[in-house]
Chains A and B, each alone.
Chain A
Amino acid sequence: MTTAVVPEHPVLSTHGLTIRFGGHVAVNNVSAEFRPGTLTAIVGPNGAGKTTYFNLMSGQLPATSGSVRLFGEDVTDLGAPQRTKRGIGRAFQLTNLFPNLSVIENVRLAVQSQAGMGLNMVSLWSRHVELMERAEHYLHRVAMADQRDEIVGTLPHGNKRKLEVAILLALEPQILMFDEPTAGMSVDEVPVILELIHQIKAQGDKTILLVEHKMDVVRSLADRIIVLHNGFLVADGDPTEVMSSPIVQEAYLGTGVADHV
């Protein structure tokens, strides 16, 4: 699928988004728009506010000022569950799973939420075969079908990361936010995730946001790069253009992240 010539309306946008922790402004007046069918990489040195920006958009943190719009609706005052229900899905950087539940159960909880079945108290969860099948489908997509019944807390790190992605997919979101999806993965596991993101992008209707340090990953996937530095948006645009701009060179070369470039 080719990129749409006429830019569609943004599905997600931030306007002057700011969060202050005491005296520290972690995200400072960041405005950006995200359109369907695009993959935007958000880069920047450690502590630049990338994950905080993600948290502000998906509702994990309340904004100090500014606003977030989701499908044209102002969602600034809504919490994470409501934003998830409206189609924003999040995979976390530090693994954030249900450690004492099994792999399949972790995914099924996402499927169940998506199906709006959480308040059902009287039917047996195991009777909902269709939910189970969907959960299995997503496990399959991250090549984890064999670990189906293992307890999540005992999984190796790479598998936890893959499970994180499976849970994100199971929410069937319109907007997918990946926070360093391949960090800490072994070399042979990385392609599975990258191929997956590539496939989602190729569908053409989803909006993907990606926080990533590895520049080769960014280059191969991103249509657009946003650079954050000390909470400010310092560059936004075409990948080659952004990467060669002086301000980015300075921000990156100053911090040693350039090793990845």
Chain B
Amino acid sequence: MLKSILSGDFPRSRILSIMLVLTFIGLAVAPFMLSGARPLNTAATICIFIVLVASYDLLLGYTGIVSFAHTMFYGIGAYGVGLALDAMGPSWWAVFTGLASALALALVLALMIGLFSLRVRAIFYAMITLAVASAFAILASQLSDFTGGEDGKTFKVPEILSPGFKLIEAEIFGRSIDGKLLTYYLVFTACLLLFLFMLRVVNSPFGRVLQAIRENDFRAEALGYRTVVYRTLANCLAALIAALAGALMALWLRYVGPKTFLSFEVMTDILLIVVIGGMGTLYGAVVGAALFIFAQNYLQSLMAEASEALAGVPILAQAVHPDRWMLWLGILFVLSVYFFPTGIVGKLRNRK
């Protein structure tokens, strides 16, 4: 049963298993454990980034494709749902219309980028994706009548997902069963299913071919695999999943904007998480996204507390001043890449 759900891809490390189970339980019960908007927002972001990063790992870690267009597909999903809800009003019909057109656009773009440029060398492919993604981001902020420009757009979601909605009057474990909670579980469930689907894909015969292409595309060709076809399919699959992740994020935030969905910062976040978690293993996306998003949201407040506690100590108090949280985040990244070149998962699996 578990083997079938996890597609026979077990964590193969006790510490990793514990981390994964804790992350799963933490995300599953987050709305009941924590009060306030921020923790729940962190939990939802972790869920969505697990899927987003895992879909990127399909490209980078499994197939060996370096793409910088992943945020574009994420943005397409978000804008699709957001603009449709904005234009058509808060209905499920709008969500589906927006999602369907976003998926179609993502598929067409991924197919085109793939067929035109996956034949060329990796570095050129990376450059092409970078160019297309930048063009798209500029387009999104320039077409301000349509997309809301730099400010983006806030919109209403279907009533059942809106914060004002109450499913039942009673509270459960001190938590009212409102639209926000329902949205959280929609995000959580969708992300869990998408993650398990990707786990299945990488452990299917198709997934093995992707790994073969990463290892030695020349030989994969000699075995009879047309690598362009496989690379393009991987590209499309990753794009569709990224678009779905974007749609979920838009529903969660009830907002779309270029900074949140299309900026290059999101792309570097994805890259960092893949590298920190471990390339070529989807569990790396889980561990990496959980740690990274948590650090991004809480390092500053942790440092504020540390700074207060060290108020008497001259240099230390300055060093951990909350204004310097970005510096410390950077140092943490450098250290983690230095000490875990194969990522956290790679390190844990090699401990034996």
User: Which residues on A are within 8 Å of B, measured CB to CB?
Assistant: 58, 60, 79-82, 84-85, 90, 92, 96-101, 105, 108-110, 112-114, 117-126, 128, 167, 171
Contacts and interface: CB of A to CB of B under 8 A. Distances in A.
A189 B156 CA distance: 72
Nearest to B7: A124
B205 A120 contact: yes
A79 B226 contact: yes
B201 A113 contact: no
A79 B221 contact: yes
B211 to A, nearest CB: 6
A97 B216 contact: yes
Contacts of B209: 109, 112, 118
A81 B216 contact: no
Given A101-B211, A124-B8, A119 B206 contact: yes
B349 interface: no
Interface of B: 4, 7-8, 200-201, 203-209, 211-212, 215-216, 218-227, 230, 233, 237
Given A99-B215, A118-B230, A124-B8, A81 B205 contact: no
Contacts, number: 98
Given A124-B8, A126-B203, A109 B222 contact: no
Contacts of A124: 4, 7-8, 200, 203-204
B212 A109 contact: yes
B222 A96 contact: yes
Given A121-B206, A124-B7, A100 B215 contact: yes
Most buried by B among A84, A105, A118: A118
A101 B237 CA distance: 23
Contacts of A92: 219, 222
Contact of A167 (B204, B223, B237): B223
A233 B222 CA distance: 25
A128 B208 CA distance: 13
Nearest to B209: A118
B212 A80 contact: no
Contact of A125 (B204, B219, B224): B204
B223 A125 contact: no
Given A97-B219, A98-B219, A117 B225 contact: no
A112 B205 contact: yes
A204 to B, nearest CB: 25
A101 B225 CA distance: 17
B224 A114 contact: yes
